[in-house]
Amino acid sequence: VLSKQEVIELLERHGIMATQQRVELGRLLFARPQHISAEQLMESASHKAERQISKATIYNTLNLFAEKGLLREVIVDPTKTFYDSNLSRHGHVYNIDSGEISDIPMPAVLMSDLPADTTAVSIDIVVRVKNSC
């Protein structure tokens, strides 16, 4: 778990003004590598944060962190966005029954067939699984 000061430095290194809410959310998010939804973060913040943090601020902060490269958006479910605090190169396994997300190693992917005049922003591999019946 990072100290407030460590989070403040992390944010500022990424050009993000370190406000109180952002620091508290940062401590929750960067405590460990995890996959978390806006809803889950709201729930977590309502228990653990010193001050209560509004829904809009949760969404704003998640979007800002993702944009600034502190979080990675994980698009596995059309109805809900997850954010991954593990920035290393990896793919995801999404259990469509339980909603759980776990990591898998990402194999080398050949990038030879991208349209010219564009640049790759992200490469995602998602394996959707269901519980064996």
Q: Which residues contribute to the site for DNA (CB under 7 A)?
A: 16-22, 37-39, 51-57, 59-61, 63, 78-81
Residue type, 122: S
Q: Is 89 in the site for a second copy (CB under 8 A)?
A: no
Distance of closest approach, residue 104 Cβ to a second copy, in angstroms: 5
Do the beta carbons of residue 44 and residue 61 sit within 8 Å?
Answer: no
Among 15, 47, 89, 107, binds a second copy (CB under 8 A): 107
Q: Is 121 in the site for a second copy (CB under 8 A)?
A: yes
Residue closest to 7 by CA, chosen among 64, 22, 58: 22
Distance of closest approach, residue 82 Cβ to DNA, in angstroms: 8
CA distance 69 to 103: 19
Phi, then psi, of 116 in degrees rounded to 5:
-65, 170
Distance of closest approach, residue 103 Cβ to DNA, in angstroms: 20
Which is closer to DNA, CB of 40 or CB of 86?
Answer: 40
For the record, the structure tokens of 113 come out as 């067939």
CA distance 11 to 59: 17
Which is closer to a second copy, CB of 32 or CB of 117?
Answer: 117
Distance of closest approach, residue 109 Cβ to DNA, in angstroms: 26
